Structure 1
Amino acid sequence: MTEFVLVAGAWLGASAWDEVVPALRAAGHGAHPVTLTGVGEKRGLPVGRQTHVADIVDEVERLDLREVVLVGHSYSGIPVGQAADRIGDRLARVVFVDACVPADGESFVSTWWQGPAALEAEIAGNGGFWAPLPAPDFEGQGLTDEQIARIVTDSTPHPGAALSDPAVLSGPLGRLAATYVKCLLDGPEPTDDVTALLTEARWELVTMDTGHWPMYSQPHELVRILTEAAART
């Protein structure tokens, strides 16, 4: 049995996986959605260095999970990639769902596509938090109005301290067994850093014909991809 530990991206907590978890469990797997400190039902809790990495590692160790597939979506690929580096032989595979990947010494903010200053200013102007997206920003991502409403309802401001936290890796990420899921409505090609990792023997690319939030737009297809990835460990 595979134990899936599921971590959604910025603004979102465990509820993002509400349509994924039952299907994984029905297939005989463990499914453990994680809410990172400072978002969702953990809104208001303090966030410091490596807090989100610790959230993930602590969940794996608290439940004494083995044969773990860590799943990181969007921003959460950064703490998930670091957690994968730390849970040792408990790890079976990492699945990055349209996600950022960590680079030692770099943060989500430092690699922001519009430049770090733009995101730093946005966070500073919102009291140290990254404000959730409004509903119109989800258009063109393969979501129904109902699904957009769910994401907006599920979202809470994301602590800027986590976004600016530099990643700490003990070795190259390419040594891990990993699946990268590219959601094509969010861009046809992976970023350059992911493209480089996909040349590694233990990395594979899978595509989905949907947008950046497949746990909402195509949960059953995502479950299929996750279970097939786990079978390759």
Structure 2
Amino acid sequence: MTEFVLVAGAWLGSWAWDDMVPTLREAGHGAHPVTLSGLADKQGVPARLRTHVQDIVDEVERHDLRDVALVGHSYAGIPTGQAAEQLGDRLTRVVFVDSNVPVDGESFVSAWPDGRAMVEASIADNGGFWAPLTAADCAGQGLTDDQIARFLAGATPHPGATLTDTAVLTRPLSDLPATYIKCLLDGDEPGKDVAELLTSDRWRLVTMETGHWPIGCSPSRELAEILLEAAQSI
């Protein structure tokens, strides 16, 4: 039995995993969706990047979870990767879903050489928060109108400090047992940082013919099957 700790990306909360949780539990595994501080039902809670790392660690320790697979989607790959190295022998695998990965001394916006100014401007214009996407921003990602509407209805402004704070790693991320899932509608190849990590014999690449948000929408069954396969390989 694997205990999946599920962390959605920017603007999202634990609700984003609602369609997937039953599938994982029906297969005999634990499923623990996390809402990060400052988002969704935790709006108003002050948050820095270290807060989000601690949110994930606290979820594992509060439930005394063992055989843990941390799953981080999009932005959440950054706090998830940092939390993973704090879990010791509780951790069995990290799964990065079309995500950023933490780089020691670098931030989420560091990986946006062209878009950094856009993100920082949004944070400055929205009281310290990154404004949620619009329907137009979701185009080309394989989502139906209903799925986009659900995304937009649940999205909340994202705490800006978590995007500009720098990651802290105590050992190479390549040492972690990891699966990286690349969603091909969001680009054919992983970014440079991920490509370097994939040269490690502890990292595995899986691709999906879907957009950047395979959670909480029609491809979620395929993503669940990939997670279940990862559990079998642990």
TM-score range, shorter chain: over 0.9
Residue in structure 1 matched with residue 180 of structure 2 by the alignment: 180
Partner residue, 1:223: 224
SS in 2 for 1:214: coil
TM alignment of 1:143-222, pairs within 5 A = 143-215=143-215, 216-222=217-223
- C-alpha displacement of 1:37: 0.2
TM superposition score normalised by structure 1: 0.98
Q: Distance in 1 between matches of 2:225 and 2:118?
A: 37
Match of 1:16 in 2: 16
Aligned counterparts of 1:107 and 1:65: Cα–Cα separation in 2: 29
The alpha-carbon deviation at position 15 of structure 1 amounts to 0.3
1:137 paired residue number = 137
Q: Tell me if structure 1 keeps the 8 A contact 2:128–2:159.
A: yes
Partner of 2:91: 91
Question: 1:137: how far off?
Answer: 1.3
Structure 1 position 56, deviation (Å) = 0.1
How far off is 1:2 after superposition? Answer: 0.3
- Structure 1 residue 111: deviation in Å? 2.1
Give the letter aligned to residue 150 of structure 1: R
Q: 1:210–1:217: 8 Å Cα contact kept in structure 2?
A: no
Consecutive unaligned residues in structure 2, runs of 5 or more: none
Which residue matches 2:104? 104
C-alpha distance in 1 between matches for 2:199 and 2:76: 22
- Listed as ranges, the gaps of 5+ residues in structure 1 are none
SS at match of 1:150: helix
Distance in 1 (CA, whole Å) between partners of 2:169 and 2:213 is 27
C-alpha contact (below 8 Å) 2:11/2:155 kept by paired residues: yes
Contact 1:211–1:217 under 8 Å retained in 2: no
2:28 match? 28
TM-score (norm 2): 0.97
Contact 2:49 2:79 in 1 (8 A): no
How big is the shift at 1:49?
Answer: 5.0
Equivalent AA in structure 1 for residue 104 of structure 2: D
Contact 2:4 2:70 in 1 (8 A): yes
Q: How much is the aligned-residue C-alpha RMSD, in angstroms?
A: 1.0
Q: Determine whether 1:44 maps to 2:48.
A: no
Q: Distance in 1 between matches of 2:115 and 2:221?
A: 35
Letter in 1 for 2:72: G
* Kept after mapping to 2: 8 A contact 1:142/1:217: no
